[in-house]
Structure 1
Amino acid sequence: MVGQLDDREKARLTTWMIKQRRSGIERPEIWSYENEIESSIRRPDLTVHSRADELLKYIQKKTPHVGRAFLASDFLPDMFAYTESVDSEELQFLTDYLIGKGWLEESTESTIGLIVTVAGYSRLAELERAATVSSQAFVAMWFDESLQDAWTNGIKPAIENAGYSPIRIDNQEYIGRIDDEIIAEIRRSRFIVADFTQGEDGARGGVYYEAGFAHGLDIPVVFTCNKDSIDDVHFDTSHYNHILWRSPEELRDRLENRIAAVIGDGPLKN
């Protein structure tokens, strides 16, 4: 299967594997997660600034002392992997981007290298603050009485058992936009759970908007759906691996396991 992927798809898959390792999964079992692989190679490319930030973080990680030069030639394979680059031109573009921002400078020593500047360390501190582990998990779902049991005995305890605090904003309907309060809460969250169960009156537009917004911020989204509704899920999300459930208890157990495997235990884990 991997041999059939093009270079860009392989780069996206590499990013998925790196994220798994950062979550504490040293050896991701990719062959048993076919749908996760499918979703990882179909997602949009990382933004240029996100890729540049990853390069800056990698260079700092591999630089033993402040002010020392980083020799890129010694770490090219990892640099390609961490920046989702498929050729040397892309990697050079990202390097030039960081130099242009003033976060890197070229070494003036005889050995060609890159040095993280004071401004670069300021940028790294900014990224570290933004990456502070959040204990919050945002939940996007249909707020209908028929799903109250799924929330109370399924989604909510699954998130809490995994070490996170669930939050949902009830009784809101949005047409073509996301409310400012929802945007703020999604930004504060470590991940979101999006349940696409719907009634006879059709799809819940807010759930699609919120899941899409989180994806745009590179915030992980865990997809769930009652088995009776999965055939009605829109095409743009149907290729993602949904946790399919019949009972709240099944939803709780499967969701808790998925969070542990993909996100990792939260800071509130007992």
Structure 2
Amino acid sequence: MKEYRYFTTMSKERCDEYKKNFEHGDVTHGHPVRLENENVENWYPKTFAEKVDNILLHLNSRIRHMGEYVKLPKEEMISCLFVDRYDYKDGNHKKRTDDAIQAQMNYMIKFLVDRNYILSPQSWNGGENDRPITLSPEGYARVDAIQKNTANGKNVLVAMKFGDDTKKLREMIRQGIMSAGYVAIFIDEVEHNDFITPELLKYIRDSKFVVVDLSHQNNGAYFEEGYAMGLGKPVIQLCKKDVRLHFDIAQKNTIIWETEEEIPERLKNRIIATID
């Protein structure tokens, strides 16, 4: 059975309901992974340049071979180009017309073509929404520069024990990272097609820094911290009081916590002081 995972801002109760249904064979609503509003706000590009970078990265992930053209489905194209579907006023939203949505798509495509980031024929047999697109050499050069500087971005890999007994700890760590302006990445929340270890190592390589909680003597967390340190990544270490750390890292400055509630503020302050 395929695992239809997707990110959503639906309520926690609704996500838990759909997830439980999915685990019992009812895949009608898929397997939702809940995002807090703060997650979306931290991820969503705040400038035009950031939108352009994300568009090029997505196109790069969809184009299998250089020079190959792709035709994105309408819904994917709208999302890829960061088109505003709604007008918001006084807490209400009204859907924009199809012409207004199409105008935004055309504007962004024209910009990318004019900057020579993408190649797309002026005319083709088909509708406006199945326009063939490929990256130009300049587009690939921009993608290379973006990927090279990924460590300057906002992603932060969190290494810790995952389970029902660490759910509260997970959310407190997430809160501390988000309040400092970064995005917490938990590998069990990430959609991927590869074996877990290569995907995990990729996220460590792409993270600006790594947060590790060693309260449960988790061998995986020790491994991930060692890999990050080997890459020269800053590592912020947490551990519950009275838990004995391995002697190799016992001398490292560690956030020692007694209750999960104290983690967000202390982690935020450590990030601001040592990373920013």
TM-score band (shorter)? Answer: 0.3 to 0.5
Name the structure, 1 or 2, with higher relative contact order (CA <8 Å, separation 6+).
Answer: 1
Higher strand share: 2
TM-score by length of 1: 0.44
TM-score by length of 2: 0.43
